[in-house]
Every structure is written in structure tokens, then in C-alpha cells.
Amino acid sequence: MKVDYVKYHALGNDYIVIDPNRTRLNLTKENIELICHRNFGIGSDGILYGPILDSGSMKLRILNPDGSEAEKSGNGIRIFSRYLFDQGYINTNRFTLDTLGGKVLVTILDGKGELIRVDMGAVTFLSESIPVAGLSREVVDEVLELDKGSFRITCLSIGNPHCVFPMDMISEGLAKELGPVIETHPMFPNRINIQFLKILDRKNIRIEIWERGAGYTLASGSSSCAAASAAFKLGLVDHQVKVHMPGGVIDIDINPDGHVHMTGSVSSVTSGTFSDEMWQRLG
Ligand SMILES: N[C@H](CCC[C@H](N)C(=O)O)C(=O)O
């Protein structure tokens, strides 16, 4: 049977893999929005498009449900690595992937592709690298004034941009109330991913997430890296941190060389073909 897509999730953050070597698809905003639509399409927190095979390297493109392209996705990279493993594109447990946000090093830990570690690279807190508007500086423990109040923020990039809000009380409601306002705040020229962070102890944190271009999600790999890195920068946690999210837990290890290692699960959901009728919605 022809397969147009394969769907997986990582702790409830679901992605659809579309392989250009097997399916022709124009990555237009309209096509991406339709495929990701929870009612009129398949439904997904994004599309993973690849492997784009180019002179020995494997490239992955990461598309958000609103059609925007992300530089990196932690859950997306683990899911895509599982796809490569399932489809026989790789014959080793360690390999590199090229993303818009740089190279990442993947290790399949369990020989099945259900538990995967990724060296996500190093983070930067430098305003111009995130980007965050204003003077060149490290954006650490600053105040962001919103209509709803003043908030302390720490911002960073791990290829994609993040703004972390350490708070005593966090909730899904808070993420859905403040997320859309902050995502499009003029301080963030490329928009931004947001994590509301509660420190549980020096080895455990909890986050609620509002993703750039995707909205509220149950888990996020790059958000886990970002929140743990911000907490570590603020001296609130040790270098090994469990990140607790509504969809489950990701293990983060902040290496002395500054590289952030993320370890988490991947689960297969389904595969299938697009029906002609689905596309009729686009006229
Ligand atoms: N929406 C994000 C990309 C997906 C991040 C998340 N799903 C992850 O697992 O890292 C962005 O525009 O940067």
C-alpha cells in the first residue's frame, strides 16, 4: 500500500513525517495548515519533511501547523530519527542530522528507536542570537512588562528561540492566557517559544508550554532544553534535570562543554495516504 505519511508522538507532542523520496507535496502554508488541522486534516503539532539526502548528509525540515518553519524541534528530531530507523535509512545507532538550527548528534539507546538521546548543541543567551530586541546583552533575569503584570524572564536559543518565565504557580490556563501575547510581542522579532517554569527541586522542574506557530502542546523537547538551561543559568538546578510536562518527562543533561543532551521516548501512531477529498477543501 502506498504510504503518504507516518505519524508518531513524543510524550503527546505529535508529528507527521512526510518523506520527499516517497511522496510529492508542495510545502505551502495552506497544505501544511490543512494536514495539521485537527478536524479537516490528519491533525498534528507539525510536519517533519525529510530526509533530504544531500552529498552524504541527511537534512530535516520542521514545519509548524501555522506553516512557519522552525530551526529545531527536540521531539521532532527524536521522532524523525525513529522514522529513519524504522525505514532502514540508517544502519548505526549513532548519526548526525542537519537542521536549520545546526547539526545534531542522535543516539538510539534501545535498539528499537523508542528511547533516543540527542546532543541538541549549545545554548546562547545573547540577545542578538535569539533574537531579542534592545541592547546587545545576555537576556538573563530581566523584567518584561505586560498588560497583565511584570514578569521576570530569561531568554535563549538552542537553534530556535525561547523565553522562560520562572513562577511559583504554573498552569495550562496561564500558558493559554499569556502564551499568544508573548509569542508575538515586539521584543521578539522572530516570535518565540514560551515556557512557564516551576522549580520542584534541584533535579526536577515542571513546565507548561506555549509553542511558536503551534500553541499549547503537551511536551516539547527544545522547550525542555531551554527551561533546564535557564534554570541552570539561574543557579536553581544541577546539570542533570528531569523536565515534567503534561505529556511526560524528558531527561536533560547540561554538559560542561555547554552542549545540552536530551533523552526521551518516541511512540508510533499510524501511517496512511491522503484522500483526494481532503485537498478539495483548498479549492
Ligand atoms: N514550535 C517550535 C518548533 C517545535 C518545538 C517542539 N515541538 C520541540 O519538541 O522542540 C518553533 O517554532 O521553534
- Shared-domain flag, residues 131 and 28: no
Per-residue pLDDT of 126-143, as tens digits, reads: 999 999 999 999 999 999
How many Å apart are CA 250 and CA 91, to the nearest integer? 26
Looking at residue 1, what is its pLDDT?
A: 78
pLDDT given for residue 263 in this prediction: 98
3-state secondary structure of 33: helix
What is the rounded end-to-end Cα distance, in angstroms, of the chain? Answer: 27
Residues 109 and 203 in one domain: no
Rounded-to-integer distance, Cα 116 and Cα 108, Å: 5
- 159 and 216 share a domain? yes
**pLDDT value for 207:** 99
52 and 164 part of one domain: no
Q: What is the domain extent for residue 87?
A: 5-120+267-280
Same structural domain, 10 and 115? yes
pLDDT tens for each residue of 34-69:
999 999 999 999 999 999 998 889 999 999 999 999
Is the CB of residue 76 below 6 angstroms from any atom belonging to ligand 1?
yes
Pocket test for ligand 1, best of 17, 160, 223 (most atoms within 8 A of CB): 160
Q: Is the CB of 154 under 6 A from ligand 1?
A: no
Number of domains in the chain: 2
Co-location of 93 and 161 in the same domain: no
ipTM of the complex: 0.99
The angle that helices 221-233 and 74-86 make with each other, rounded to 10 degrees, is: 140
- pLDDT per 10-residue tile (average), the chain, 283 residues: 94 98 95 98 98 93 98 98 97 97 97 96 98 98 96 98 98 98 98 98 98 98 98 98 98 95 98 95 84
Q: Any idea what the CATH number is for the domain that residue 87 is in?
A: 3.10.310.10
Same domain, residue pair 209 and 246: yes
- Give the position, in ligand 1's atom list, of the atom nearest the Cα of 64: 1
pTM of the model: 0.98
CB distance 13 to ligand 1 below 6 Å = yes
Nearest CA among 114, 58, 55, 127 for reference residue 86:
114
Q: Which three cell numbers stand for residue 182?
A: 508573548
Residues 94 and 11 in one domain: yes
Tell me how far the alpha carbon of residue 1 lies from the centroid of ligand 1, in angstroms.
31
Is the same domain home to 174 and 189?
yes
Distance 24 CA to ligand 1 centre (A): 24
- The answer to whether residues 109 and 148 belong to one domain is no
How many other CB atoms sit within 10 Å of the CB of residue 276? 7
Is 211 known as a binding-site position? Answer: yes
Asked if residue 274 and residue 189 are part of one domain, the reply reads: no
Asked if 138 and 25 sit in the same domain, the reply is no
**From the CA of 19, how far away is ligand 1's center (Å)?**
19
Bridge-based pairing of strands 240-245 and 248-254 is: antiparallel
